Structure 1
């Protein structure tokens, strides 16, 4: 039996559930007899253990299961009878006062809110667009060349030349010994032998790189260096030091020529340079399209958050905060980080969780009101699009269709795209061109 629903707040409700104690005892005895059929105890054959011994061993566990079952069933029945859409899980606690022969529990919970979406036709959304030009293809080729760089001793003649005058210059890989001191005292981490880095890449502080430029192998230089206030080494941050470096090895960078062999190294079997450039262009266009789609989706989601009115259930925020915390822990563990004893307070994720839950409720309302569910054809088309960048597209299709959870992820992605298309079709949209570098440097996420 359940009492009438009490309203405790905008979304918070409470129901009192009660039922006769005899119902619990009857069900417990029934389950104990079932348990006794297979119960084992020293000195007794299986199934012949006295019921009192079975009750002593299993009674508490079975009583807890019976109570959980009855309370859960009674709560669900009450929620259904009152047409309540329960958000998350109820907090159920025993009621201190109950009628004689009765057990009573208070179930406090939240319900899903009403979602009011404003006039989408009045919403202004700025989308972006970007193009892949020949310059972007050239830049990508330069990056691919640098990834395949070979270093040779500078000043020594070889197959590719001698690299020019044997003095350290930007682009060279230098190997140095160095020692640093503060107030004439060496400090931890301030000394190394055989330390290699490429000049001009910014791995070292500017003073360090400037002092290395122009050195020849065997030469040393002493110079002052000021550590930034925000330097990662807290013991030396903001302090001034004196460093002495000695150049032990000097190598120049040889970049591979853009020829047939280079094209073959990128997977172009016949070494055709035109085909190589076209492949790079297609890959860049696919990447640009993905970034543009992400930026535009983010713009739509931002607009929906502003135009929709709703109260967000705290229960759902807590659940999603816990989920984000666990995902972060797993991700860091997979990266090889020891996070076993590192706390991940859910409140750190509360803001992100609140936005995710809010958007989920808004999207659910839009999808339901406007029939924007993902169709099987859309899901298949999305998977086939993913599969294009893989060697065996059929394996990609099999990967998704063999697991309902994976397929659900694609359905959710398509659903979001349906919402984006729907909202952009109604709202006031302006579009601006963004530079390729700006777009590729962004990482928009809804």
Structure 2
């Protein structure tokens, strides 16, 4: 077996691998000898089938296996010896496509190797950590929002129903002059603008008063779930029994109990803890961006063009879908990355390779417990399907990697942050928000 370098240009490498006919013959014979004791064939006792007959019967299939094994062994041996780590799966092609038994096998192998990553002087990195203490005004604002969400409704004396008001009514719905199942109710509370009724219904109640009777004419949507009503016009005879306006709940112990707290002080404590957590998460995101910006500035190395191109294509494709959410069946090949996409791709590839190398060198690990916690957190986004989601992740290596990657990156960032020089700066909530908004603009 021979391996000859035919190209060395930047990170790109190409090699020609020659597997001799003798090597293949030896490997095939070895496979036949290994299998011979277990082979049964008509006219021969088990293990006594002649090698010549075995070779005639199974030789061609084993030759293919021998080729694959020989090439795989040669490739792996070369990578082990050279220390090269391909950025992507090597491109392997057969050179002598007219190969016939008895010929050598000549293969070309092309890949871009991952670059050498320089060491980083962690102590030279200077970071600023923003800190925010929840103010009384922030807690009062959060309480006000909770009270608004837990709003009650009070009778609107002499007023007309407006969007957001609650109308209490009796109604009877009819199609073709006949009442239908589920089309009638008494003392039904309907918040106008909630979208609880079919399109067009709630808008026609804007302006009604208590004691008024009104016929609301609407048409059921064509895709309505009840087939006997889909697409049909209907008349709802409504008697308005009350019109109520929304009134925020009182900020007291009763409100606290609605949100699972023992009393108002306990609810304030929960809000304080939540705000601290939110502020800390936002501040961490700002500091992480500062760290990545510094690493991008101070570390330089060659980037595999294939990785950059793949990342740029993905960025362009993702942004295209965000800008065209309703378009399906497009030609992906026609979505060309812009110069801005390419620059962003270079940064992502560079920082991704750098953090991966730093994590590996410093034995940063994502534990099974951390993975399980992350999967469970994501599973809660699918109520009723948590178990199915968990099992899907457990059985899908690619999905596991998508969960593991951000965990690993954050742990590497934490490792570097612990080694860097970090100073704290106390800021207001608004100043923190400005810093976070600046991240979104970049």
TM-score > 0.5 by shorter chain: yes
Rate the CA distance shift 1:129–1:169 in 2: closer, same or farther, 3 A: farther
1:228-286 Cα deviation digits (max 9, x unpaired) = xxxxxxxxxxxxxxxxxxx9986532433333332222222xx3210111012112211
Say yes or no: does 1:310 pair with 2:310: no
Q: Is the 8 A contact 2:162 2:192 kept in 1?
A: no
Rate the CA distance shift 1:303–1:57 in 2: closer, same or farther, 3 A: farther
Which position in structure 2 is the counterpart of 1:107? 109
Say yes or no: does 1:272 pair with 2:263: yes
Rate the CA distance shift 1:23–1:106 in 2: closer, same or farther, 3 A: same
Which position in structure 2 is the counterpart of 1:197? 193
The CA deviation at 1:149 is 3.7
Which position in structure 2 is the counterpart of 1:259? 252
Q: TM-score, normalised by structure 2?
A: 0.59
Say yes or no: does 1:172 pair with 2:165: yes
**RMSD, aligned CA:** 5.8
Q: Is the 8 A contact 2:17 2:71 kept in 1?
A: yes
The CA deviation at 1:55 is 7.9
Q: Is the 8 A contact 2:165 2:192 kept in 1?
A: no
Q: Is the 8 A contact 1:28 1:62 kept in 2?
A: yes
1:163 pairs with 152, 156, 170, which one? 156
Say yes or no: does 1:281 pair with 2:276: no
Matches of 2:428 and 2:151, distance apart in 1: 34
1:421 pairs with 413, 418, 421, which one? 418
Matches of 2:331 and 2:192, distance apart in 1: 36
Rate the CA distance shift 1:433–1:106 in 2: closer, same or farther, 3 A: farther
Which position in structure 2 is the counterpart of 1:80? 80
Where structure 2 has 5 or more consecutive residues not aligned to the other structure, the ranges are 169-189, 196-202, 216-237, 378-389, 395-399
Counterpart secondary structure, 2:90: strand
The CA deviation at 1:145 is 3.1
Which position in structure 1 is the counterpart of 2:287? 296
The CA deviation at 1:313 is 1.4
Matches of 1:293 and 1:308, distance apart in 2: 22
The CA deviation at 1:135 is 2.0
Matches of 2:142 and 2:312, distance apart in 1: 39
Alignment of structure 1 residues 88-127 onto 2, 5 Å: 88-96=88-96, 101-116=103-118, 127=129
Alignment of structure 1 residues 41-80 onto 2, 5 Å: 62-80=62-80
Matches of 1:351 and 1:42, distance apart in 2: 68
Q: Is the 8 A contact 2:127 2:291 kept in 1?
A: yes
1:358 pairs with 350, 372, 383, which one? 350
Rate the CA distance shift 1:167–1:81 in 2: closer, same or farther, 3 A: same
Rate the CA distance shift 1:316–1:441 in 2: closer, same or farther, 3 A: closer
Q: Is the 8 A contact 2:130 2:427 kept in 1?
A: yes
Rate the CA distance shift 1:93–1:381 in 2: closer, same or farther, 3 A: closer
The CA deviation at 1:196 is 4.5
The CA deviation at 1:91 is 1.0
Rate the CA distance shift 1:75–1:385 in 2: closer, same or farther, 3 A: closer
Counterpart secondary structure, 2:193: strand
Say yes or no: does 1:435 pair with 2:426: no
Q: Is the 8 A contact 1:98 1:104 kept in 2?
A: no
1:333-382 Cα deviation digits (max 9, x unpaired) = xxxx99997877797797765443311222245456xx644489xx7998
Matches of 1:61 and 1:248, distance apart in 2: 83
Rate the CA distance shift 1:380–1:62 in 2: closer, same or farther, 3 A: closer
Q: Is the 8 A contact 1:12 1:109 kept in 2?
A: yes
Which position in structure 2 is the counterpart of 1:182? none
Q: Is the 8 A contact 2:4 2:17 kept in 1?
A: no
Where structure 1 has 5 or more consecutive residues not aligned to the other structure, the ranges are 153-160, 176-193, 200-208, 221-246, 390-398
Matches of 1:353 and 1:248, distance apart in 2: 62
Q: Is the 8 A contact 1:263 1:272 kept in 2?
A: yes
Which position in structure 1 is the counterpart of 2:136? 134
Matches of 1:267 and 1:125, distance apart in 2: 39
Matches of 1:73 and 1:317, distance apart in 2: 29
The CA deviation at 1:29 is 5.0
Counterpart secondary structure, 2:16: strand
Q: Is the 8 A contact 1:18 1:102 kept in 2?
A: yes
Once structures 1 and 2 are overlaid, which stretch shifts more, 282-291 or 95-104? 95-104
Q: Is the 8 A contact 2:163 2:193 kept in 1?
A: no
Matches of 2:344 and 2:40, distance apart in 1: 52
The CA deviation at 1:54 is 8.5
1:130-150 Cα deviation digits (max 9, x unpaired) = 332222222222333343345
